[in-house]
Amino acid sequence: MNRLRRGFVRATSEMGESLRIALSALVGARLRSFLTTLGIVIGVMTVIAIVAIIQGLNASFEAQIANIGAHTIYVSKFAWFAQGRGEWWEMRNRKDLGREELETVEREATFAAAIAPQVMSRGTVTRAEQEVSSVQLVGTNARYLDTSGGSVSWGRFLSDTDVDLSRASVVLGFGVAERLFPGFPPEAIVGKRVVVEGHPFTVVGTMARRGQMLGMDMDTNVFMPYSSFLRDLGSKRSINIAVAAEPENLSALEDQLVGILRKVRRVPPDKKDDFALNRQEQFLRVYNQLTGALYGVAVGVGLITLVVGGIGIMNIMLVSVTERTREIGVRRALGARRRTILLQFLIESSLVAALGGAIGTALGLGIGQIIALVSPLAAAVTPSAVALGLGFSAGVGLLFGSWPAWRAARLDPVEALRYE
């Protein structure tokens, strides 16, 4: 036990002494130390800035995707992502989805938590002298908010009675309400009359601001009962069906929907589906494919810069060993062991790299925040990315400082003392 205690005390003492000598050497050659760290600073700064921007974009993209329903399957005639022009034409020639499919899904989809039809077109909405064009007109039911997100800021959303009676009721998106009723308080808008594509409707509610999603303005929407939509704006349209479920039931719901739709659309067993089931994961998958290669190339450039910085550390440490050969000889003659010399130079090279990593991390985070302030790009970084930057830079110091440290430790004390 005493032997172990003595060994521990000696190792701790050697570590402390090596750290003191390393710090003294770095402070004594401040300019050289700064120039040595410059390559590490640039490499870590590049990696952290890129990681911050990409992680910010990921968070922003995921938040936007949540606007279309986090746990919702969209049954449609078209898949969101067609594989070539031929597949698009094949989907275009499919039979439209109609009320029969909607009613069958409502009746038989036992895993569904909410079901909302969606019929869409672009149109113009007017009130007196005010006009808003290119508005997304959405025919749906009372379950829309449960499947596709959003909330009402004033009044109410559509009700089952609105749908059953085909009432002329509308809920205005935030942007449409703001432009049709400039200066009006929200409560004053409810009950007013607007004209949608030449048909009068009564405003029953206004939506809260939703912002942008994938470049689309989510606030220029007008919602009406889908029965009223089909009556006034044209019945020959394919109905999309949004079906929400609990997260644990989503896969079972997808399988169930395939069976229900193949049956109601009379698809033969040897034929492929003539409909598409779309989920938000498809957006995430395509997004990750688009950004993955860019992320790899950008991080690779940063890592190459780190390697170049590491080579600079090795070069400077070799020079340092040469300059301090006599000092090493004196220490060896006074009883310093080879591992003590080795540890000293390893600590010195790691400190140089870690210092560069800390400065580079701070600069990388700063650059990410500046880019977020002056551009639409978001920036965020996790603690793990910061730890990775610092740890990797210290690892570069250890790796590229090992050869100079080994050379210092292998110097012959007699020859070192003779060195001028």
Over the stretch 4-15, which tens digit does the pLDDT of each residue have?
565 555 556 555
Q: What is the number of other CB atoms lying within 10 angstroms of the CB of residue 50?
A: 21
Across 241-264, average pLDDT? 88
Closest CA to 21 of 346, 334, 310: 346
Q: Which residue has the higher pLDDT, 64 or 8?
A: 64
Contact 332, 344 (CB under 8 A): no
pLDDT tens readout for residues 130-175? 899 989 999 999 999 988 888 899 999 999 999 999 999 999 999 9
Q: Picking from 342-351, 369-378, 398-407, which range would have the lowest pLDDT averaged per residue? A: 369-378
Q: What pLDDT was estimated at residue 24? A: 64
Across 173-200, average pLDDT? 91
Q: What pLDDT was estimated at residue 1? A: 56
Spatial distance between the Cα atoms of 172 and 263, rounded to a whole number of angstroms: 37
Q: What pLDDT was estimated at residue 83? A: 67
Q: What pLDDT was estimated at residue 376? A: 63
Q: What pLDDT was estimated at residue 279? A: 80
Residue 73 pLDDT grade (very low, low, confident, very high; cuts 50, 70, 90): confident
Look at the chain and count its residues. Answer: 420
Spatial distance between the Cα atoms of 45 and 353, rounded to a whole number of angstroms: 13
Contact 132, 180 (CB under 8 A): yes
Q: What pLDDT was estimated at residue 311? A: 81
Across 352-371, average pLDDT? 80
- CA dihedral sign of residues 103, 105, 109, 112: negative
* % residues pLDDT > 90 (the chain): 21
How confident is the prediction for the chain on average, in pLDDT?
79
Euclidean distance between the first and the last CA atom of the chain, given in angstroms as a whole number: 45
* HSE (side-chain half, CA atoms, 13 Å) at 185: 2
Is-above-0.75 flag for pTM? no
Could you tell me the maximum CA-CA distance found in the chain, to the nearest angstrom?
104
- Using CB atoms within 10 A of its CB, is residue 371 exposed (0-12), middle (13-18) or buried (19+)? middle
Contact 144, 157 (CB under 8 A): yes
Residue 63 pLDDT grade (very low, low, confident, very high; cuts 50, 70, 90): low
Q: Picking from 37-46, 57-66, 271-280, which range would have the lowest pLDDT averaged per residue? A: 57-66
Closest CA to 229 of 169, 144, 152, 297: 169
Spatial distance between the Cα atoms of 38 and 309, rounded to a whole number of angstroms: 7
Residue 179 pLDDT grade (very low, low, confident, very high; cuts 50, 70, 90): very high
Q: Picking from 28-37, 126-135, 222-231, which range would have the lowest pLDDT averaged per residue? A: 28-37
- Using CB atoms within 10 A of its CB, is residue 239 exposed (0-12), middle (13-18) or buried (19+)? buried
Residue 87 pLDDT grade (very low, low, confident, very high; cuts 50, 70, 90): confident
Q: What pLDDT was estimated at residue 156? A: 93
Q: Is the pLDDT of residue 124 over 60?
A: yes
Closest CA to 74 of 253, 238, 250, 278: 278
Q: Is the pLDDT of residue 182 over 70?
A: yes
